[in-house]
């Protein structure tokens, strides 16, 4: 049966498959979502469902403002409140990916920001990828997933960051979130985050005193791919 949100659900299905194929997910530890702001809805992976069992019909659609179920027969991901917080606060975000990918999660568990040690990092993230503060006992005991989203927002705003220039965050003791202008870019950013997290660990094992790249080199690489003066690639999907 055709529904109003078939395209959105199909894109979210493909995004969830993509993060598995990229090696960012084991078991059911991850989820991708996308928003349709004109329709006022978000589509997301169902909670605890094996990726092997996913199809477009199993993707859940919820109301962007209330979180109420709009389409689907499964419960949405337990991380749905965190995704909704990000969409509600930042209008530029069109897709969100949360995983427990190994290297990025290691940085999150160490409660360390991810330094920009090279140009691969600078191509995707305008500076070190921040780590949030730890949640309080009260936050953990309350609306935990919503507070997880809140602490990501708190960190972005506290550091004065543009969420599309810093499209990722390490949630302390938890794992990475990534996002983008759409769910396809969110997947790309999640993949890039895991790569630079892994290479940073390798770099620091070889040279514990390795310094971040210069501001000039960081900006050259970031701005050649992003912003009005970008020249990398063949158009919109640089």
Q: List the catalytic residues.
A: 123, 232
Neighbour count for residue 56 (Cβ, 10 Å): 17
Rounded (5°) CA angle 17-21-25: 80
Neighbour count for residue 53 (Cβ, 10 Å): 8
* Angstrom distance (rounded) from CA 41 to CA 62: 6
Give the number of C-alpha atoms closer than 13 A to the C-alpha of residue 33, restricted to the C-beta side: 32
Contact yes or no for 149/82 (Cβ under 8 A):
yes
- Hey, what are 231's tokens? 């020249």
- Hey, what are 181's tokens? 């202008």
- Hey, what are 27's tokens? 């078991």
The residue among 151, 155, 156 whose CA lies nearest residue 135 is: 151
3-state secondary structure of 225: coil
* DSSP annotation of 216: H
In the numeric block, the tokens 């290297």 are attached to: 103
- Residue 206, burial from CB neighbour count under 10 angstroms (0-12, 13-18, 19+): exposed
Contact yes or no for 62/81 (Cβ under 8 A):
no
């Amino acid at each position: 049966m055709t529904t109003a949100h078939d395209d959105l659900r199909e894109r979210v299905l493909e995004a969830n498959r993509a993060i598995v194929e990229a090696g960012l997910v084991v078991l059911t530890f991850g989820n991708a979502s996308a928003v349709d702001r004109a329709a006022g809805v978000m589509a997301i992976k169902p909670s605890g469902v094996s990726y092997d069992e996913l199809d477009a019909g199993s993707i859940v659609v919820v109301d962007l403002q209330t979180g109420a179920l709009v389409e689907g027969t499964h419960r949405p991901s337990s991380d749905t409140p965190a995704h909704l917080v990000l969409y509600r606060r930042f209008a530029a975000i069109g897709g969100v990916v949360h995983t427990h990918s190994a290297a990025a999660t290691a940085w999150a568990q160490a409660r360390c920001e991810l330094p920009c040690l090279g140009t691969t990092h600078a191509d995707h993230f305008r500076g070190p990828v921040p780590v949030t503060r730890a949640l309080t006992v009260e936050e953990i005991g309350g609306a935990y997933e919503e507070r997880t989203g809140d602490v990501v927002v708190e960190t972005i705003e506290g550091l004065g960051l543009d969420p599309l220039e810093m499209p990722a965050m390490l949630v302390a003791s938890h794992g990475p979130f990534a996002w983008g202008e759409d769910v396809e870019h969110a997947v790309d950013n999640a993949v890039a985050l895991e790569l630079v997290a892994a290479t940073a660990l390798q770099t620091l094992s070889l040279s514990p005193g390795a310094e971040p790249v210069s501001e000039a080199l960081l900006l050259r690489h970031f701005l050649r791919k992003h912003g009005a003066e970008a020249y990398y690639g063949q158009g919109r999907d640089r």
